[in-house]
Amino acid sequence: MLAQPLRDWFEVTSSSKKLVVFFVMLGSVTVLMYGTVLGPRLNQVSALEHEIQLVDQGLNTQESYGQQHQQLRNEVLALRNRYQGLSEALGLQLADTEVLSGISNAANQVGVSLTLWKPEPAAPVPGQDIYGTASRLEIEGNYQSLARFLDELERLPKALAVKAFSISALPRDQAYKTIQVSLNLFGYESPGLLGLAPSQTASAVSLSQDDGHLN
């Protein structure tokens, strides 16, 4: 029933009106298709694109964090190796009293006698997790032997600095021991050694004048 009126309208209507109607119908169909099909698909594509961007940003951030983490690990490892080297050079893991036997052996090798070893209480170093230690050492011998002994102190596994010293001459009847030297030595220790190190007491240790061993 609608076909005949539509046919009549088509015959009597001008081409311009037909064209207008055609474009209106085409636009309506396009809008309808966009609203029902293309619009939702386009929203899905936009949402997926946004999600991909977020994932990509997350991956870039994770990669950046991974690089920073690896860089920090390398820096920590380098600092740890440096600390280990400095710790070994300073002898932080050795108590002053543990190097007394090395000092005694060095004295025997160069021909000097140890007469006194007096450690002082260890004191914490401000701002550092280490303790400073001081001890007094008295030795007797001739000039050449004493010079060699001071050189041997530098070869000990623990770094001990000479902070002060005094020299005095002995009576002439002791020709083989003409000089007496008092040394104030300073070093560093790890806090873990404090419970074991006798250097926490200020008691002096007298040594044999013949062989430098403990009495």
The set of residues, in sequence order, having a beta carbon less than 8 Å from that of 144 and lying 6+ positions away, is: none
Other Cβ atoms less than 10 A from the Cβ of 112: the count is 25
List C-alpha distances in Å: 155 to 53, 102, 106, 173, 183.
64, 10, 9, 33, 17
Radius of gyration of the chain (CA): 46
User: How many alpha carbons fall within 13 Å on the CB side of residue 58?
Assistant: 6
**pLDDT digits (tens), the chain, 215 positions:** 555 665 665 666 677 776 766 667 767 767 676 667 666 777 777 888 888 888 888 888 888 888 888 888 899 888 888 888 888 878 888 877 778 888 888 899 998 988 998 888 888 889 888 888 888 999 998 888 998 998 888 888 888 888 888 888 877 655 555 889 999 998 888 887 654 444 433 445 555 544 444 44
Nearest partner of 122 among 131, 114, 113, 130, judged by Cα: 131
Indicate the pTM of the whole model: 0.55
